[in-house]
Amino acid sequence: MGHLVDGRVVFVRYGLPGELVRVRLNEMTTKFARGDATEIIEASAQRVTPRCPYAHPGGCGGCDFQHASLEAQLSWKGALVAEHLRRIAGEERTVEVTTLALTPHARTRLRCGVDEEGRLALRRYRSSDLVAISSCEVADERFADALATPWHGADEVELRAIGDGEPFAHVRRVTDRGTVFELCSLGGTPLDPSTHSRVAVDGHYYSVSPRSFWQSHRDAPAALLRVVLEFADVAAGDHVVDLYSGVGLFSIPLARRVGAGGQVVAVEASPYAVRDARTNGDGLRQLRVREWSVTPRAINDAVAPGDVVVLDPPRVGLGKGVAAALLRRAPRRLVYVSCDAATFARDLAALASGGYVLRDLRVFDLFPKTEHVELVGVLDFTA
């Protein structure tokens, strides 16, 4: 970050704190500017040489910190989360970011555009322009086959290497008759439309359909499941509500913990994920999977004062009225999983205003070489 002569802040990509760099400005507003560090005049000791050939000004916009050491990345992310908590939620807290096993090529999902020559591509930073790639430093190495395959006629290709079985591609094509999805091998050969991924997470098994969400880092599901179970701290006979429950990553282990005398209600809007969750939870009579959007009405119908509630919303955080509905129902504990520190802090502020206290917080580096983190907080009702 730097400043223009008129005092406006300049956000500098590819630079590190304390460096002297030459910057090319590429965006100007009345309040700030953005630019790229095109020449490093005095380098930080925490600068490293990017392993990715596309990590440079004008290149791929996927990774923010290919040029920063792991220590620098974790320090910056922790400071950013702490700043959001302080500024938005009034929560003063020192934040440490936990990295997972330093396994290269740990990303199991990669969503690509397709350029005019049929090559898989990622987008430039803050742009819809495509950058064709032949490799990806953070993604599963088996995707190399797909990156060498022409995908003429496709508009988007999501590569998946989730769990057991061979990786495959989920292909989207826009035709005169509408949008068509198909499954293919990484070499472009059509696959059976019923193809699913099968994943083992700490002794629990999940079927994940191609249009259901699953964490992109190979080690993320196990890391998140362990801390959610620790924070929820449920026992036999408890009642749990899992909001934004997906394919049941948390619901199913929680249902096993509460036993036949308890109940877990899983609330999920995606019909694909709901079908997966019902398959994954087959035989657990204490598990109820509801195909609902997470709205105030769903909260009123599903949540009671003695409950434990797990929330794992998308990046935009809790929907309109959801925090207020939770305050009215006053469950005894909330376990909030978030992939965005700013929306987490916003929702924390709303929940704290009604009597919830943040008892513990874990922050994970599930998106190495990017600015993103995953947070898991536990909030207890004290009013």
Do 200 and 82 form a contact (C-beta atoms < 8 A)? no
The whole-angstrom separation of Cα 252 and Cα 275 is 14
Q: Count Cβ atoms within 10 A of the Cβ of residue 1 and give its class: 0-12 exposed, 13-18 middle, 19 or more buried.
A: exposed
Structure tokens that stand for 48 in this block: 């490293």
| 52 carries an active-site annotation | no
Residue 196: phi and psi, rounded to 5, are: -125, 160
Q: Count Cβ atoms within 10 A of the Cβ of residue 368 and give its class: 0-12 exposed, 13-18 middle, 19 or more buried.
A: buried
**Other residues' Cβ atoms within 10 Å of the Cβ of residue 352:** 16
Q: How far is CA 338 from CA 75, 268, 312, 317, 360, in A?
A: 19, 16, 6, 7, 14
Candidates 52, 63, 112, 339; catalytic one = 339
CB-facing half-sphere around the CA of 108: CA atoms within 13 A: 23
DSSP conformation class of 286: T
Three-state SS at 333: strand
Do 277 and 246 form a contact (C-beta atoms < 8 A)? yes
The whole-angstrom separation of Cα 169 and Cα 133 is 16
Structure tokens that stand for 73 in this block: 């990345």
Structure tokens that stand for 325 in this block: 């509905």
Q: How far is CA 356 from CA 335, 337, 352, in A?
A: 11, 16, 5
Structure tokens that stand for 296 in this block: 């105030």
Q: Just list the catalytic residues.
A: 339
